[in-house]
Amino acid sequence: MSKIYITDTTLRDGSHTVSHKFSPEDVKKIASSLDAAGIDIIEVGHGDGLTGSTINYGFSPYNDFELVRAAASVVKNSKLAVLLIPGIGTVEDLERAQDCGANAVRVATHVTEADVAAQHVRAAKKMGLFTVGFLMMAHMASVERVLEEAKKFESYGADIVYCTDSAGAMLPVDVRDKISTLVQNLSIPVGHHSHNNLGLAIGNSLAAIESGATYIDGSLSGLGAGSGNTSTDTLVAVMKKMNYDINADLYKTMDASTNALIPVLESKGLKTNTNLDAMILGYAGCYSSFLLHSRRAAERFNVDVRDIIIELGNRKAVGGQEDWIIEVASDLSKLKNK
Ligand SMILES: CC[C@H](O)CC(=O)C(=O)O
Ligand SMILES: [Mn+2]
């Protein structure tokens, strides 16, 4: 199985959800947690890309360069990416972003307009940036047309090309058709970016991976435009469950949501419906009604609820064996205090 690389776009696509109001301090908190979790690429900036802060797209109180600088001050291992939409951002903006610490760029165009990105991709490559061609609104073009446009990105020198479901309109069968055609006909890796508007983001991400995509986007707790993106947290859990080779750590990715993103959102009066303990039920194959009992036991024995749920899954507990929860929590606490 090929290695799968995860790009987290909480701090760029998620910026749409917070009306582009992530501050440099918010960026530091979230980017450092993503970096610690082993996320391969962290994308930062205005939701509409470099210099998107305008009356047309929505003003941000902070410019992209401050945000990139803030992220660069804490990121140690991940690549740091910006989005550049030719016509909104320029090559000069990209140079400035690089000076502030960006080392990757996703050059985004409408799915039928890769031509407009030629100079930006070539310039990015010359600057030594990891360069991604990002074809937006891919549901609007035929498989043949998506391939034609992706080939343009390849010919300009892009390192990867993305088939992006900006509208969350693609069905798994569309994702399979488009991604497998790109994988079979390009010599660069292929990526996929989903939106969850039809509740298909994680399913479509898996369809993309099974069709040969090796770069997949997510965002913490699925924060992003519309119904949000594929949740990075869930993506990591599912990929681990399927034994894919990924760099990200499951608990640390969840912690990035719980301890970094969610407090930042709460400080802005925003909430998420994220229930990561419940996600772990699915990861572990543990009875759903065990959740509340496990939370209580975690508190009583001062152990991580995720460890309880995973151990119950290992012991193959079924409904009616609620008494095991206490036993597992007690065993874990003894192990911890040994
Ligand atoms: C307007 C840029 C857009 O948000 C890029 C993107 O993430 C997408 O097309 O889905
Ligand atoms: Mn998007």
Residue 203: what are its φ and ψ, rounded to 5°?
-65, -40
CA–centroid distance, residue 217 to ligand 2 (Å):
9
- Binding-site residues sit at 12-13, 166, 193, 195, 287
For residues 51, 103, 214, 114, the Cα torsion angle rounded to the nearest 10 degrees is 40
For residues 28, 30, 31, 33, the Cα torsion angle rounded to the nearest 10 degrees is 110
For residue 146, pLDDT over 90 is answered with yes
Query: Which among 83, 85, 132 is the best mutation to test ligand 1's pocket, defined by most ligand atoms within 8 Å of the CB?
Result: 83
For residue 50, pLDDT over 90 is answered with yes
CA 274 to chain CA centroid, Å, is 15
| pLDDT in the model for residue 336 | 94
CB distance 277 to ligand 1 below 6 Å = no
User: Which residue has its alpha carbon closest to ligand 1 atom 7?
Assistant: 13
ipTM of this model? 0.99
CB distance 194 to ligand 1 below 6 Å = no
For residue 272, pLDDT over 90 is answered with no
| pLDDT in the model for residue 139 | 98
pTM: 0.97
Query: Which among 140, 164, 197 is the best mutation to test ligand 1's pocket, defined by most ligand atoms within 8 Å of the CB?
Result: 164
In tens, the pLDDT along 222-250 reads: 999 999 999 999 999 999 999 999 999 99
CA–centroid distance, residue 195 to ligand 2 (Å):
6
| pLDDT in the model for residue 1 | 81
Longest dimension (CA), the chain: 65
| pLDDT in the model for residue 34 | 99
CA–centroid distance, residue 162 to ligand 1 (Å):
12
Separation of alpha carbons 93 and 112, rounded Å: 24
Separation of alpha carbons 101 and 185, rounded Å: 34
| pLDDT in the model for residue 273 | 86
Q: Which atom of ligand 1 is nearest to the CA of 49?
A: 2
CB 110 within 8 A of CB 139: no
Give me the chain's average pLDDT, please: 98
CB distance 217 to ligand 1 below 6 Å = no
- Binding-site residues for substrate sit at 12-13, 166, 193, 287
| pLDDT in the model for residue 2 | 87
| pLDDT in the model for residue 96 | 98
Q: How many CB atoms lie within 10 A of CB 178?
A: 30
Nearest CA-CA partner of 209 in 223, 193, 224: 193
CB 191 within 8 A of CB 174: no
In tens, the pLDDT along 67-114 reads: 999 999 999 999 999 999 999 999 999 999 999 999 999 999 999 999
CA–centroid distance, residue 166 to ligand 1 (Å):
6
For residue 168, pLDDT over 90 is answered with yes
In tens, the pLDDT along 285-311 reads: 999 999 999 999 999 999 999 999 999
Q: Among residues of the chain, what percentage have pLDDT more than 70?
A: 100
pLDDT band of residue 284 (cuts 50, 70, 90) is very high
CA 313 to chain CA centroid, Å, is 27
Report in angstroms the alpha-carbon separations of 63 from 30, 35, 67, 121, 267.
Answer: 17, 22, 7, 23, 20
- Please give the domain boundaries of the chain with CATH numbers for all domains: 5-267 (3.20.20.70), 276-336 (1.10.8.60)
